[in-house]
């Protein structure tokens, strides 16, 4: 009763954001469990990567107005994958690039290329980087790199979920990082 209308709106917004975070976490955990138990069916479709990346970029520019993001697509063939799962991979890696970059240097370059019978995707940021000793752990479920940037409610599921999705779709994911310089995640999918 003692809150002003502005305070009510402010606290309502916070509650709404926290409910969204909780909902996303529950959906991720549910999907993770379904993939681990092989109870989820993949809906493979022909995905035009130019069109797909344009949609992802448009959505990301709305969500992260201060993220400088570009996507270069140099492929001749469409990729035959589950577009929803591929979207989850892109979203997780974009979220990470944003979260682990300094406020004045939020940059992400995505490059999609084709080599023989593979599509290779590189997600390169100019963020804080990851210590070499941490790299072997970052794809483990609930593992969190210890730094000032992961205190925003991260539970260590994003990269583990990405790896699970990539592997589920028949691909591989790897990481290369230099502390203080940035991180590159590389994903390879077979074209067949």
Query: pLDDT tens, 2-58?
Result: 888 888 888 887 887 777 666 665 666 666 666 777 767 778 889 999 999 999 999
Is residue 138 within 8 Å of 147, Cβ to Cβ? no
Q: From CA 25, how far away is CA 46, in angstroms rounded?
A: 29
Stretches where the chain sits below pLDDT 70 are 20-34, 39, 141-157
Q: Which residues contact 19 (CB under 8 A, 6 or more apart)?
A: none
Q: From CA 110, how far away is CA 52, in angstroms rounded?
A: 12
Question: pTM for the full model?
Answer: 0.77
Q: From CA 7, how far away is CA 14, in angstroms rounded?
A: 11
């Amino acid at each position: 009763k003692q809150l002003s209308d502005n305070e009510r709106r402010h606290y309502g917004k916070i509650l709404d954001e926290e409910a969204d975070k909780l909902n996303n976490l529950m959906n991720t955990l549910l999907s993770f469990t379904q993939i681990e138990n092989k109870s989820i069916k993949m809906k493979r479709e022909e995905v035009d990567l130019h069109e797909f990346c344009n949609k992802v970029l448009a959505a990301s520019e709305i969500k992260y107005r201060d993220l400088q993001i570009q996507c270069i697509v140099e492929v001749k063939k469409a990729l035959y994958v589950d577009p929803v799962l591929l979207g989850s991979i892109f979203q997780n890696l974009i979220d990470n690039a944003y979260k682990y970059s300094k406020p004045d240097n939020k940059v992400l370059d995505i490059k999609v290329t084709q080599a023989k019978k593979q599509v290779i995707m590189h997600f390169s940021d100019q963020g804080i980087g990851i210590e070499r000793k941490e790299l072997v752990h970052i794809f483990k479920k609930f593992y969190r790199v210890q730094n000032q940037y992961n205190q925003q409610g991260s539970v260590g599921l994003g990269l583990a979920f990405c790896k699970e999705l990539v592997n589920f779709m028949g691909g591989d994911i790897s990481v290369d990082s230099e502390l203080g310089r940035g991180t590159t995640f590389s994903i390879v999918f077979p074209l067949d």
